[in-house]
């Protein structure tokens, strides 16, 4: 990868989109790549829409601007308007969504037909593994299966760096489950 792979995260305050962006960047760095992650903040409150960004490259990353034409979009909460999260996604790009909808329901509901769509029921996984609907680590696991920006072991290491030991292992399990359960729909 000579240019940066650019990723935009969409979620709601409290779901961990910013932490997910950081975990992917740290995992890529553990795999000897260059990476950066940063949030876009407004008047944030729990439940308000949040955007975060991750860039990964095999060369030094010099740009610091928000990502407007991402290679991939990760949606932690599909109650966010599709027009918002799909905006700017490159033709041939990838959309990864947290959804319990069927393959047919999801594909037929999407306006864009020129992108790859993947889904995982991260809410179900998070409830099973964490006892709470905090879907960030599950979405990270699904992401690296769909696009191997980092190894699963590196993601686990980054999770352990970002969480207290008591909750780190349940988050590692959530990431691993989502890695195995994500579906590419088209």
96-143 tens-digit pLDDT: 999 999 988 988 888 888 999 999 999 999 999 999 999 999 999 999
- Domain residue spans of the chain: 5-184
Cβ–Cβ under 8 Å, residues 101 and 109:
yes
Instruction: Please give the average per-residue pLDDT across 141-157, as a whole number.
Output: 97
pLDDT of residue 49: 84
Q: What phi and psi values does residue 143 have, to the nearest 5 degrees?
A: -55, -50
- Residue 53: which H helix or E strand, with range? strand 49-57
CA 8/CA 59 separation, integer angstroms: 20
CA 138/CA 46 separation, integer angstroms: 20
pLDDT of residue 1: 47
Tokens matching residue 28: 């890529």
For residue 2, pLDDT over 70 is answered with no
Give tens-digit pLDDT for 83-97: 889 999 999 999 999
Whole-model pTM: value is 0.94
Query: Does 3.40.920.10 match the CATH number of domain 5-184?
Result: yes
């Amino acid at each position: 990868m000579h240019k940066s792979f650019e990723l935009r995260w969409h979620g709601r305050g409290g779901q961990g989109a910013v932490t997910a962006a950081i975990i992917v960047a740290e995992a890529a760095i553990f795999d000897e790549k260059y990476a950066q992650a940063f949030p876009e903040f407004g008047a944030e409150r729990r439940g308000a829409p949040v955007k975060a960004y991750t860039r990964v490259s095999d060369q030094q990353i010099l740009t610091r601007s928000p990502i407007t034409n991402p290679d991939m979009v990760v949606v932690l909460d599909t109650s966010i308007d599709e027009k918002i999260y799909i905006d700017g996604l490159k033709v041939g790009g990838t959309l990864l969504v947290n959804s319990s909808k069927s393959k047919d329901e999801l594909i037929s509901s999407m306006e864009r037909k020129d992108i790859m769509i993947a889904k995982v029921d991260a809410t179900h996984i998070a409830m099973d593994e964490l006892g709470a609907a905090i879907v960030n680590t599950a979405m990270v696991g699904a992401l690296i299966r769909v696009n191997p920006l980092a190894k699963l072991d590196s993601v686990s290491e980054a999770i352990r760096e970002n969480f207290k030991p008591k909750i780190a292992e349940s988050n590692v399990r959530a990431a691993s489950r989502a890695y195995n359960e994500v579906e590419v729909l088209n």
